[in-house]
Structure 1
């Protein structure tokens, strides 16, 4: 873990906030009390405290997902505390919106919706590319939570800084780990009295059969996870069941384990690869030696990570072992294939597979239903082998109306707003206007949403979106 992890965490948090705010808003890293930009609005992110995690003090370095081995050196596990302070033009008596408050609300909602930065994959911020390797490959996720500080606590912080109090929200980011480069401890770690009731030898791994293969296969129209036989010694015992992980992800055992062999099912998702470390522990005891299973074929990334219908969508999967790719398929949360497209042989080699999803493919996922949602993209080889999955979010889309003010149609006399787009039908459809939600209930028109407000919208610009079964469209600016 690099000593630059603190700077990388701040950079990643700033990039995520910037991608989540409305266009034109900015995210600064100024010391508290410094003058914000003369124009515009946004939030200021300030790291005001760095503390050691009390739960992981004196822990040895566990290695990382990139394959760096664990070493007998101390790791410094940190929790970072930030102040999030909004700024914007001072509102006049006739202004309808306080831009500073609006920016703070957008930022807080973004951190509430996606509290684990490693799991964010959307336009503007993809953890696979935005996070530095020190954070992306760590076994610990970068988690953000609102720090429940009282007004007195916040006032005390500002007083300590020597600046007058300003509206702020406090956040804590964990876990960021720093590792030294030397071996051995410079200072012996603190120890506590321990009572040992008994000891067991660590499991010993001898072989994986096979040691290389696909994460899953397509059989009978269903995704079947790959299976691997684990051979060794001390893998199980009376009343002792092994726990096995692949690339840090728990794997399911198939059948009862024996002391020298058991069969496992590869996890649905693997955070690192194509070389995935396999470890075995018994009842929380010492871990086994490590063997490596090579996932072949392997999908390292897929673009886009978010799409919507309205035209053909080109999907590109990069990785290894893709030379004989036949198609790219998408499965739902149950592992059932929902749509697919043949791979373009002219754009395919060992490291790349390309396919074009026609608009009709995305519009007709099921008779009478066009569910938005998260799908798993996999490449299927001619042999039936499947890669590990990569996420694809299919979401509603709003299409600006040409020539209409704000890209939509709003009739102030009738108080009626009409929005057009695609994939707007669902069981629970809501209209979001300036963060206020209006429930429309079940909606069957995939191309149009119409809502009559109980009273006219305030004159000016409004931010609108459509939420279909929990999946939000892109925002659209509407002028009333």
Structure 2
């Protein structure tokens, strides 16, 4: 599905918002009690819109090389479905909080960072009711893993944003699959299946008696 990336982002967004709303202190800052949001916009995009909260920004998309060459899915009796494109998504999660006077709020930022870490440490696998968008109601599962990119890579990301560096967290999310638009292909039917191990053992034993 072409909406898989957005669905993964919405999944992270929804879970994180629910956890922030449940925090005894931070719930005062997020809806319905406060104006802060969890946004999939970039940190500078939130600043430009005068928003406070958390930026969950998809900053890099990479192919999963280990699953890139997976074979087509066989659909009985004689059709082959092209495999999906396997992807790993990389997110930069950045608190963008301000005090009532509009000044930076480092204490609140660090509280939010702790809440993000707690959220995905407690729920490293997201499935079932946690999935949002077009992933909702499917049997898909998203694995969320904390990353530690080098200082040079992080510096390049913030240089791209043209914003002063903010303490952030990086997470990898996988596996996200984008389905092919190619039609199913006709393949040779499976005419005979190999016997199971137990059946083959019994057949061999019977032949030797």
TM-score (norm 2): 0.71
Contact 2:6 2:133 in 1 (8 A): no
Cα deviations by residue, 1:269-291 (Å, 9 ceiling, x for unpaired): xxxxxxxxxxxxxxxxxxxxxxx
Is the 2:92–2:170 Cα contact (8 Å) retained in structure 1?
Answer: yes
1:98 partnered with 2:124 = no
Deviations for 1:176-198, whole angstroms, at most 9, x for unmatched residues? 0011132369xxxxxxxxxxxxx
User: How far off is 1:100 after superposition?
Assistant: 1.6
Distance in 2 separating the partners of 1:258 and 1:110: 52
CA distance, structure 2, for counterparts of residue 89 and residue 71 of structure 1: 54
SS at match of 2:66: coil
Residues 320-378 of structure 1, C-alpha deviation per residue, up to 9 Å, x if partnerless? Answer: xxxxxxxxxxxxxxxxxxxxxxxxxxxxxxxxxxxxxxxxxxxxxxxxxxxxxxxxxxx
State the distance in 1 between where 2:106 and 2:2 align: 42
Bigger proportion of residues as helix = 2
The alpha-carbon distance between structure 1 residues 136 and 36, as it changes in their structure 2 partners (threshold 3 A), is farther
User: 2:83 is paired with a residue of what secondary structure?
Assistant: strand
In the comparison of the two structures, how many residue pairs are matched? 179
1:135 touches 1:141 (CA, 8 Å); kept in 2? Answer: no
Distance (Å, rounded) in 2 between the aligned partners of 1:113 and 1:175:
19
Note the alpha carbon deviations across 1:225-244, whole angstroms, 9 max, x for none. xxxxxxxx712258x7xxxx
TM-score (norm 1): 0.33
1:133, CA displacement in angstroms? 4.9
Distance 1:258 1:141, change over 3 A: farther
Structural RMSD (CA) = 3.3
Which runs of 5 or more residues in structure 2 are unaligned? 31-36, 204-209
Q: 1:38 deviation in Å?
A: 4.9
Distance 1:62 1:13, change over 3 A: farther
1:4 aligned residue: 3
Shift of 1:152: 2.9
Contact residue 97 and residue 109 of structure 2 kept, 8 A: yes
Q: Which of 122, 132, 151 does residue 113 from structure 1 map onto? A: 122
Residue in 1 that maps onto 2:14: 15
1:131 corresponds to which residue?
132
Q: Does 1:236 align with 2:197?
A: yes
Aligned to 1:159: 159
- CA distance, structure 1, for counterparts of residue 149 and residue 49 of structure 2: 27
Structure 1: runs of 5+ lacking an equivalent: 64-69, 120-125, 186-200, 205-232, 241-256, 260-480
Is this contact kept in 1: 2:55–2:95, CA < 8 A? Answer: yes
Task: Mark the structure with the bigger radius of gyration.
Answer: 1
